[in-house]
């Protein structure tokens, strides 16, 4: 068997998994933005759904170019986040999580009862327009923009708000404005990820963007670690691959998945990728070698 034949077989079997890794990385980064500002939001699955339905309807019903549909899939969730964020972001902690979770349920019920969205059956026959380079390009742009944001005045303001909101306000930081900005940026990234996802899964439904998906997105970021951009991507990659790796343990797959998450939370509270822990470990190993 030649390499090309092997690659064609491999790609035909695992292309959906590979696409999922890229899209899930974007979703994990979308919630990383809100977490970096101290916001525990569970609305990203709903924003993903809004972006998925918007992009799908524009390509299916109006036959607009895919880039235009993706752009709209990012803009509409941003506008929705802007509208709901003004009253909602006055809350914090578990109250904010409950409010954004309620928003997600509202979105699901609306989609269930709209004829244009296909109701409970969802949309079938979404054109397969997503290519691998679309995901690589948009993920790269997302990483680049968030890395620049992290090192900017805005990124420092996010960090100050996360560490101590009251102190940040006393220092003259516009806490409400920066929180809203983080919320809107996260919504835009999640919406674009939803548009990409819809155009390689061929079908979407209202139950694809409910409570379980909201928790999955949060878990990916926390699992990898939210101290930098690398952590959420590592977490999303591992959790995207776990179902495939544990396929042969299908009867126990969810239990094994849950056990892994429990162990990480217990013994790695800052996630798998914690630069301080890694530097300390490397420094300890170097010191041990010098002693020997």
pLDDT for the residue 59: 96
| Residue 88 token pair | 């909602």
Where the chain has pLDDT below 70, the residues are 1, 249-254, 256-257, 285-292
Instruction: Give the H/E segment covering residue 124.
Output: strand 123-124
Collapsing DSSP to helix, strand or coil, 60 comes out as helix
Number of alpha carbons in the 13 Å side-chain half-sphere of residue 45: 28
pLDDT for the residue 68: 97
| Residue 216 CA, distance from chain mean position | 9
Contact 162, 236 (CB under 8 A): no
DSSP-derived letter for residue 226 is S
Please list, residue by residue across 273-292, b when 16 or more beta carbons sit within 10 angstroms of its beta carbon and e when fewer do: bbeeeeeeeeeeeeeeeeee
Instruction: Give the H/E segment covering residue 164.
Output: none
DSSP-derived letter for residue 242 is H
Q: What is the largest CA-CA distance in the chain?
A: 72
pLDDT for the residue 52: 97
Distance CA 56, CA 116 (A): 11
Residue-wise pLDDT for 249-292, tens only, equals 666 666 766 777 777 778 877 888 877 777 777 777 666 666 66
């Amino acid at each position: 068997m030649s390499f090309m034949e092997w690659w064609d077989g491999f790609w035909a079997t695992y292309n959906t998994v590979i696409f999922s890794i890229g899209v899930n990385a974007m979703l994990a980064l979308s919630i990383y933005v809100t977490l970096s500002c101290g916001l525990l939001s569970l609305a990203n699955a709903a924003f993903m759904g809004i972006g998925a339905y918007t992009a799908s309807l524009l390509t299916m019903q109006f036959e607009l170019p895919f880039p235009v549909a993706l752009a709209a899939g990012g803009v509409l969730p941003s506008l929705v986040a802007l509208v709901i964020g003004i009253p909602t972001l006055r809350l914090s902690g578990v109250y904010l999580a409950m409010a954004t979770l309620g928003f997600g349920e509202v979105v699901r019920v609306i989609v269930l009862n709209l004829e244009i969205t296909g109701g409970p059956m969802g949309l079938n026959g979404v054109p397969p327009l997503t290519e691998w380079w679309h995901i690589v390009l948009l993920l790269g742009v997302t990483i680049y923009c968030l890395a620049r944001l992290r090192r900017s005045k805005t990124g420092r303001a996010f960090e100050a708000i996360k560490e101590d909101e009251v102190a940040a306000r006393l220092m003259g930081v516009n806490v409400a404005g920066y929180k809203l900005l983080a919320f809107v940026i996260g919504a835009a990234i999640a919406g674009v990820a939803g548009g990409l996802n819809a155009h390689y899964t061929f079908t979407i439904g209202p139950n694809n963007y409910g409570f379980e998906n909201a928790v999955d997105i949060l878990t990916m970021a926390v699992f990898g670690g939210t101290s930098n951009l690398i952590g959420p991507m590592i977490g999303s990659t591992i959790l995207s691959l776990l179902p495939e790796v544990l396929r042969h343990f299908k009867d126990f797959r969810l239990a094994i998945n849950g056990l892994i998450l429990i162990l990480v939370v217990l013994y790695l509270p800052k996630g798998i990728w914690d630069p301080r822990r890694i530097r300390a470990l490397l420094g300890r190993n170097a010191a041990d070698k010098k002693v020997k």
